[in-house]
Structures are given as structure tokens and as C-alpha cells.
A and B are shown apart, each in its own frame.
Chain A
């Protein structure tokens, strides 16, 4: 089970298509000799939650066994992310964005609507649409598995993160992590925190001048880029949705035509049936176009929205650090002037300075890294997108051509 390297951004999302082996399209970056391979070998979808089986293979000495699995739920992944996020030691790094919550609401809603409309369509139509919805549900499921997996593998590949204690606990600890979802108080706290953070961010952005042009530029770029890519993601989603609707409407067209054929009788029946059949096949192709667009385009965009967000967080932390550093400097000056607590102030200032420089260096690395990652991921996915679109369009054209050729001449 080749690890999905985070460079790929969004790897081929349907791992279980190939019986659990992921197509190892990884540009293997060789990490050190000690390996830590993490993947999600299985997943179970219950009523409201999904249970992921996290499987680890490692040669690192810290771990008790070379190979083991645990069962985790989504909340535990979020817990893990938060631990990284809060850790000041990692302030200079881009924390891999957490996987989104598994969301089957849309599918469930559609299934329900279908059930309600059951009376108004033929059995054939109904079963076809049900199949479609089930396939959709399955695709969503596979996607969420992949996203959780990418999160873990990024952590596992990161030279610093992989050694994190919480990560080890997450991978190894066989019991439930007892991560209860935040109760109301904590949720409100969380809200406050993020609110504060954003106001602080804005304040800093307005008041704090950056000493480094590079970061100044990066900040501006990231902000702009973040907006643009977010917008593109939403539009891409709408587009794939519309595509899916077109594909689905072929179902009714196809079955409507079949029924017409029965009524029309021998003169048109063969003709109509061929056409109905073609529509059915065309629908499958259109459906695939839609899902491929979703995978290659929307998901790539979406991932980089989130990664971009994480980068923004990094910049914010750095800026805050800078503010603190400058504050510490002022404090030191005041202390010296008053000749009180000079040593403490000096210490504080030194800390702040170190921190700041550490963050700045790290941040530079991370940002360049992000850029490279982004370009590679886009390139790969755009090429794949184009090739798939081409393949499907050719398939459809061929389908229609052979249908036209085979239509019985009157």
C-alpha cells in the first residue's frame, strides 16, 4: 500500500477501486531510512458516522509494533489537527488542513426525494435512479476516506510532524481517544477564539508593518489568491452539479422513449429502443464526466483553498510573533530606561527574537514548498482532467455515431 505523498495534493480518490491498493502514482521522495507508512485500510459507514481503520507500518523504534491498526472517527482526526495547530513549536509550519466532515446529507436528501416520487415513475426508471444515487453515495464515501488519508500521510511524511507525540498516540492507542465533541461551552469558546483571531488578524494586517518585503508580498498574494480560488471552487462545484443533473435527466428521457416505443408498435419500436438504449449509455458517460470533473478539478481547487488557509494561518502566526517581538523590544527599552527587571525583559526579548527568526525561516521554506506543491498538483490534475474529458467526449461521439449508423432504415 504505497503511501500517498502529499505532493500530489489530491491523489486518485478512489483507493478501493483497485481492491485497496492505491495506484502508486507517487513521485517518491525518499525520506530517511526509517519509514512511517500510514493509510486507511478500511472504512465503515454507520448511521451518522464513519469509522476509519487507520493502518500503520513503521520501522521507527518508538513504536511498540511494526504494524498495527486502530479505529478512528472523524472527531479524532480533528482533535489531532487541533493539537498540531495549538502547538507553538510548530508555529512556523503550515499545518496540513483537516479533512472535512463526512457529509452524506445531500445524498440522503436525494434518496428521500426519490422515494417520495416513486409513484410517478416506472419501476425501471426508479431502480435506475436508485442505482445512480447509490453510486453517488459510494463516491462521496470514497472521497471522504481519501481526504482523511491524505491528511494522515502528509503528517507522516513531514520530518517534524511525524515525530509528534500526539500523532503517535493517535496511531497507536487502541482505545477510543475519548474525544468528545465540544460541548456548548467549548464550542462558544472556540467561536470566540476564532473571532478574536480574525479581528487580530485584521488589526495586525492594518497596523503591523512587516520588516521583510518577501512576506509582505506573500501576504498580499495569498489573500488575493485565496479569494480567487475559493470562488473558482464554488463555481466548479456548481458546474459539476449541473453536469450531473443533465446526465440524470437522460434517464427519464430514455425510459420515456422506451414506453413510447411500446405504444407506437412495430413501425417505430426498434428504432426507439435503439435510441433509448443510446441515451442510457450516454448518461453513464455524462455521469462519469461529472464525477471526473469533480475529482480532478473541484477537489484540487478545494484542497488548495484549505492549504492556502493554513498558509494564511502561518503568516498570521508569524506576524503576531513579530508584533510580540517588537513589543518585547519596547519593553526592554522601557525596562532599561527605568532600570527595572532588565534581565527579565532581555530574556523575553531574546525569546521573542529567536522565535520570530525561527518562524520566519521556516515560513519561507514552507511557503516555497506550498507553491511547488501547488503547481505540481495542478499540473497533474489538469492534465488528467483534460485527458479524461477527451476520453469521455470521444466515447460519447462514438456511441452516437454507431447509433446513427445502426438505426434501421425505414
Chain B
């Protein structure tokens, strides 16, 4: 079934426009609640797992999805409605098909991939079904697909078509570059309804983004909302989703209720910690090529307006409670279900992950101790510097007094060095390790997804056996009418078994690939972290050297 997109309004979509008019009209748009912004919808549509869609539109889209899903390349559609086509795009496509023609490279016939191809051009390799909605924004879309080559194989292993993708390394987009900084935390509003907003600045040369360098303002719940959406969409494909910074009721309330003027060092620390955590989170997410191309991610990074409140991230919302219950259920499941592991690889990896988790936690604890002790050292050195200054002022022997004064200043300088080093201890070493502990959790989640699919498969097999039994019984009893039904059920369940087995195998493969990339990234990150830390430590020592070198002549000058 082909889906035809009806372009209604002018494609120049401005964020302020009436969403309904400017969104990609979907064929079924009237049937469903139009999503707050198009990208979400499109993203859901093209989510690989038919079952996972949670958007209201999902029900309607299931069928076309089913048909498409194994074969259609999941080209993350561009963040549709919200983007105003950029000048560098071949103009605002007044007409879908025209833009296609103008579109860069990709579309030129035969490019196996994509869905980026306008409606009626079947994407080269995709069977006959290349119709994807999203071609509204062909240009960005096409560009996306170029980058997303790495994507295809992950999701659709069965895809034979994507030949172009093969040259691009899985995961690492070659010389692609994207760097995100989170800065300028600001408190917006007052009292309990206030919140912290952060400036998210992106620098990139990845082509499917509109600009090379821009900023947007985002609030904390936006980050959490993004994480949640990414988890919903990608976890079951076997992807490791970098975890978002945790919520903290105390810290946040302190900020909300405190005024700007008496922001004490405690809350400043908290804000700085959070800002750094958000930055690391964004960068980790953006290094992952699939997540980077995800429309929600792109919208998050690019949309020049306030994102709709991700109310569902609030702990007390109904969605929040639901999530909590789900999580409890999952935890129980994790503990009780022992999977028959036939794959040696998974067996080993699971164990390794567990020990890694335990060891990292221990390491993190000792890192925190180091941070505390060094902070104490900085404080006590400062106190000593002051006491020495007093001593120097009391001392009557003039050159000794001068020397003591110098000592006080030198100690003051070492105190600053210690303090800075403590910060390095914290941000470079301790926080990164904490991130890794959370990442390991995300990995465990992914592994667990696989276990769940295994469970589904087993369950399906059991049910199939039951249905077969029922059919046999019916046949024996000679109840022809029942047999017919039983037969249908058997067929249905046979299909389900097949699909769930495929699903299981698919996710297993995906995880393996994902873990390869994860391992590479993890090793690299760890090395980078340690090297940076050692460099910081060395710099501190060199600064200390300077301090004492200047002091010695002073001490020698005591007559």
C-alpha cells in the first residue's frame, strides 16, 4: 500500500506556523491527533520495531509499517515541520517533486538507499516500497541518508541493497565532526515554576544539519525527554543509549527557591556539575551515528524555539508512575528469568559487563575519596596561608618577616593549584567514571531487551505447541468447525514464532555490532580520560615547581 503524501501548505514551514497546516500532512493525519511537531511523528513511523511505537499515530500506521519495516531503510526523516529550509538547501521546495530534482547527490537514480527518494521513485534497493512520507524535505533527507549509510546495516541486516554504505565504517563517520557544548546556565522564572535553561551550541560539518554552528536554549526536562524518546525508539534495536543525567529533587528545589544573589557555592557546584554532565551526555549521544541522525535528536539540537514540555518526564505524572511500575516489573523479570544462553559470546560478555560494573563502582568510590581529600588539602592550605600571613605581620625580624610573607603567598598559590586539581580529579576522573557506570547500566538494559525477545520467542513456541495440540484434539473429536479455527490459530502462531525468532536473532546481531562499537568507544574514552587526567596532574606539579622556585631565593635572603 502506497502512502501518498499530500502537500498542502507551502513548504516554508516556520516554527510559528500552525502545526497542523504546515506539518507533513500524512495520509492518515486526520485520523490521528496531529503530533505537536512533525518530527516525532515521522520518527515513530520509521521506527523499526513495529511494536514499539507509542505515538497515537502508531496504531494507524502499523500496517503499512509492517509491510515496510524489514525492508525499508530507516532513514531518519528530517525534523520535518520545524525546520525552515535553509538557503543552502536548494531553495524552499515549492513542490515536492521539484525539490527532489534539485536535491543533491543522493537522489540521482540508483542510489540504493533511499527512502529519501520522492514518493514515486522506489528507492533503489528497497523492494517496491520506497515510499516514505518524509520526502517533504527531500534535501535534508537525502543528505541524511548519505550519512546514515552506516545505519542501514544495523537495522536491516537483511538489506542487501545498501551497497554504498559499506564503505563507510560502521559507527564512525570518517571525518565527520560534531561537537556540542552546553553553557550559560540561567534561571528562568521564579519560585517553584522556575527552571534552569542551558545554551546548547553545536558545531558540526555533518551535512544533514542546516548550519555549521548555532545555539539553542533548552531546559533540563528537554534533555530527559530526548533521552526517553531515544530509548523508546532504539533500545529494542539493540542500541546502547547513553544515559541522561539524573534528576535531583534537592538540588533542583534549592535552585528554584533560591534567589540569584545568594546562590551559594553548593548550588553553583550543583549547576556546574549538571551542566558538565549534560554536555557529556549530548556529546556521547551525538557520536552515535544512528542516534545523531534521529529526528528527535536533530530537532532537539536545531529547533530554534522552545520544545514542547516533556511533561511525561516528571516523576509524578501518570506516565512517570507507569514507567516506575514498568521498571519494577522489569527488575523482577531480570532477577527471576534465567535465560538458556546458547551463545558463548553473550555468556562471556554478560559476565564481563557484571564485573566491569562492580569494579568501576569501586574505582569510582576511591576517586570520590581522592576528590574529597584533595579539596580538604586545598582548604587547609588556605587556612595555613592565612595563619602564616598573621605570623609574618607579628614577626619583628624584618627579613624573616618578609620571608614568612612570601611563604604565605606561595602557600596561597599552591592552594589554588590544589583546588584546581581537585576539580580536575572530579570532572575528568570521577564524573566520567560515573558516566561509565551508567552506560554499563544502559548496556545491561540492552542485553535485557534481548532476553525479553527471547522470552517472547519461547512464549510463542509454547503457545504454538498448545495450539497445535488444540488442533489435533479438535481433529480427533471431529469438530470440523473448531479445526478450521485451530488451524488459523496455528498458522498465526507459526508466523509469530518465526517473527519473534527473527527478532531475537536480529537483536542479537545488532547488539554484537553495537558492542563492538561500544568497546572501541569505551576504550578510547577511557584512554583519553586517563591521559587528560595525567596531563592535568603533571601541569599542577609544574606549577608547584614554579611556586617553590620563586620562594627559595626569598628564604635564602633571610639575614
Contacts and interface: CB of A to CB of B under 8 A. Distances in A.
Contacts of B366: 249, 252-253, 256
27 contacts: A221-B394, A228-B390, A229-B391, A235-B387, A239-B377, A239-B383, A243-B377, A245-B373, A249-B370, A253-B367, A256-B363, A259-B362, A260-B356, A260-B363, A267-B519, A268-B527, A375-B400, A379-B555, A382-B555, A383-B552, A390-B548, A390-B552, A396-B537, A396-B541, A400-B538, A401-B538, A410-B527
B397 interface: yes
A403 interface: yes
Contacts of B552: 383, 386-387, 390
B381 A239 contact: yes
Contacts of A385: 555
Interface in B233-258: none
B370 to A, nearest CB: 4
A393 B541 contact: yes
A252 to B, nearest CB: 4
Name, among A239, A371, A397, the residue most crowded by chain B CB atoms within 10 Å (CB to CB).
A239
A232 interface: yes
A224 B394 contact: yes
A239 B395 CA distance: 22
B526 A268 contact: yes
Nearest to A378: B400
Nearest to A226: B394
A235 B380 contact: yes
B552 to A, nearest CB: 5
B378 to A, nearest CB: 8
Contacts of A265: 352
A196 B218 CA distance: 71
A10 interface: no
A236 interface: yes
A242 to B, nearest CB: 4
A257 B364 CA distance: 10
A390 B555 CA distance: 13
Given A263-B356, A397-B545, A410-B527, A236 B377 contact: no
Nearest to B393: A228
Contacts of B400: 374-375, 378-379
Contact of A278 (B360, B374, B534, B544): B534
A240 to B, nearest CB: 9
A275 interface: yes
Contacts of B352: 263, 265
A225 interface: yes
B356 A264 contact: yes
B369 A231 contact: no
B544 A249 contact: no
A359 B395 CA distance: 25
Nearest to B370: A249
Contacts of A397: 538, 541-542, 545
Name, among B383, B384, B523, B524, the residue most crowded by chain A CB atoms within 10 Å (CB to CB).
B384
A271 B373 contact: no
A312 to B, nearest CB: 14
Interface residues of A, number: 56
B384 A238 contact: yes
A393 B545 contact: yes
B387 A232 contact: yes
Contacts of A275: 530, 534
A83 to B, nearest CB: 32
A225 B395 contact: yes
A404 interface: yes
A246 interface: yes
Contact of B558 (A225, A382, A394, A400): A382
B383 to A, nearest CB: 5
B407 interface: yes
A137 B215 CA distance: 59
B340 interface: no
A325 interface: no
A229 B538 CA distance: 33
Interface string A258-287: 011001110110010001001000100000
A169 interface: no
B397 A371 contact: yes
A271 B524 CA distance: 11
Contacts of B396: 221, 371
B391 A246 contact: no
A260 B387 contact: no
B373 A246 contact: yes
A246 B548 CA distance: 20
Given A231-B387, A278-B534, A404-B538, A382 B526 contact: no
A396 B421 CA distance: 14
Interface string B348-372: 0000100110011011001101100
Contacts of A344: none
A75 interface: no
B551 interface: yes
B527 A271 contact: yes
A389 interface: yes
Interface in B388-407: 388, 390-391, 393-397, 400, 403-404, 407
A242 B376 contact: yes
A249 B421 CA distance: 15
Nearest to A252: B366
A250 interface: yes
Nearest to B538: A400
A407 interface: yes
B363 A231 contact: no
Contact of B370 (A231, A250, A264): A250
A235 B412 CA distance: 13
Given A232-B388, A238-B380, A246-B374, A267 B551 contact: no
B531 interface: yes
A404 B545 contact: no
**Minimum-distance CB pairs A-B, first 6:** A252-B366, A242-B377, A400-B538, A235-B384, A397-B541, A256-B363
Contacts of A374: 397, 400
Nearest to A265: B352
Interface string A356-390: 00000000000000010011001100110111011
A249 B558 contact: no
Interface string A217-230: 00001001100110
B549 interface: yes
Interface in B520-559: 523-524, 526-527, 530-531, 534-535, 537-538, 541-542, 544-545, 548-549, 551-552, 555-556, 558
A229 B389 CA distance: 11
Given A232-B391, A239-B384, A390 B355 contact: no
B531 A407 contact: yes
B523 A267 contact: yes
Contact of A249 (B369, B397, B404, B545): B369
Contacts of B362: 256, 259
A243 B352 CA distance: 36
A404 B359 contact: no
Nearest to B519: A267
Interface in B498-532: 519, 523-524, 526-527, 530-531
Given A246-B374, A404-B534, A390 B549 contact: yes
A268 B376 contact: no
Contacts of B376: 242, 245
A10 B330 CA distance: 67
Given A242-B373, A252-B366, A382-B403, A228 B387 contact: yes
Name, among A264, A278, A410, the residue most crowded by chain B CB atoms within 10 Å (CB to CB).
A264
